[in-house]
Structure formats: C-alpha cells, structure tokens
Amino acid sequence: MSKRLREVVVKDKTALSPNMNRIVLAGDDLADFPAGMEGGYIKLVFPQEDAAKPTVRSYSIRSFEQESREVTIDMVAHGDTGPAASWANHVEVGQGISINGPGACQPINPAADWFLLAGDMSALPAISVNLEALPADAKGYLVLEVISEQDKIELSVPEGMEVHWIINPEPESDNSLLEDKVMNLPWLEGTPATWVAGEFSASRALRQYFRKEKAIPKEFMYVSCYWKIGETDEGMKAAKRADSEAW
C-alpha cells in the first residue's frame, strides 16, 4: 500500500440507507491513483487534537473514476462513538481530508464450482464489488446482516445466487446470527469459494468452520475481520494478533 498522503475533498455525500453513507472523495492528488482497485481499501486519516498521532481507519473502495479523479467509499453510520463515524455523519461537501493507499483488493476466487459470500454492513462495499465480478451463471449463497429492513440496498446478484438477509438492530451486542445462518446452509456439490468479512467473532467462527469442518483449500477461502464488538480498531487488531492461530 502506498504510504503517500493524498489530500482530497468531499465532492458528494448521500445516504444509501438509514445506516449507510456514500461519500465521494475527489482531488488532483488522485491523478496517479491506480485503476482496478475496487474492493481494495484506502485509509482515512483523522487528526486528533489530544493525541500525538492521528487516528487512521480503513475503508473499502467501492469505485474509482480515473477521468474525474473520484474515489467512492460507503461508510456504516455507527453513531458518533468514534472519529470515523462522527466524521461520516457530520462531514459536508467541500471539506477536506487526508487519505493514503490504495491497499490491495482480495477478490473471491473465480475458479470455483459455487460461491458463498457473507458479511455485515461493514463488508457490503467489498461484497458488492465481488458480486459484480462473478460470472453471470454463478450459483451459491449470499448472506448479509443489516441493521434494519431499510438497509437492504439494491445489489447486482447473479440469478443463481440465493440471497439471505439477516436483520439485527443491535449489531454491537454479542450474537451469532451471521455464522449460524451460514453454518445451516445446505452444502452444494463441488468446490466452493468463500469470501467473508465483518465482525471479529463471526469471522473467526466461520474461518474455523471452513477450515476444520469443510476443509476448504486456502486458495478458495478469504475471511477477514473489520471490527470487534466493544473494541476500538486498535483493540480488534490486538485481539487478532493474540489469537493468530485462528487466523
């Protein structure tokens, strides 16, 4: 990932749903931003008055327009408890922010007999990119956990993919809704490719399930955690390091 800071401004901000904001960042510093990084990530840099270092948070790249030098990210509105959520909820068009990146994307392996994608709202942007890259005749499952019925955004889903929405109005309370749903899906014939991201505990449980119970080859399995209930981003990363065998 490029460490060079890029200065951009908020060109547009729209609400995709009650709990998801779409933010378009633009600027001349994106002139050499590489194409084809959708599904990868950029890091937003939030200066903190009472801290020696700024707070940095990663967000998936939903799209990039090279000609207009615009990168689009979708951000979950988690209230005002953290600097990123507060910024996303209150930022106005014309305001500036520093970013760095992009970081590499982790696409789902297309050389599979069927596909299983699952995640919560934090994973929706990357899952949307993966869905758009699937072959038209793809079959399998899509499992998405959202906060409300109104958060069921429109997606480009191949006809052969079975979609399961999970409504969880309290995503920051301990639960096993996502992993329970995935583990109870009928297993299809052939080799699956899995792509899962979201909360730490759900991702950890599904990684163990895929590895131990389903013996999915490493090259056909991607599982990541984007956040952890009750923890800051730094706390989530520390928990992942401490539990490295599970990852």
pLDDT of the chain, 247 residues: tens digit per residue: 666 899 999 999 999 999 999 999 999 999 999 999 999 999 999 877 777 788 899 999 999 999 999 999 999 986 556 788 888 888 999 999 999 999 988 999 999 999 999 999 999 999 999 999 999 999 999 999 999 999 999 999 999 999 999 999 999 899 999 999 999 999 999 999 999 999 999 999 999 999 999 999 999 999 999 998 887 777 777 877 777 655 5
According to the model, what pLDDT value does residue 80 have? 57
Q: How many alpha carbons lie under 13 Å from residue 118 in its C-beta half-sphere?
A: 27
Which strands make up the sheet holding 114-119, listed edge to edge? 160-167, 139-146, 114-119, 192-199, 221-227
* Residue 202 CA: distances (Å) to CA of 19, 93, 134, 247: 20, 35, 24, 12
pLDDT of residue 41: 95
pLDDT at site 47: 79
Residue 144: predicted pLDDT: 98
- Structural domains in the chain? 6-103 (2.40.30.10), 114-246 (3.40.50.80)
Helices (H), 82-227: 83-90, 124-133, 177-183, 200-208
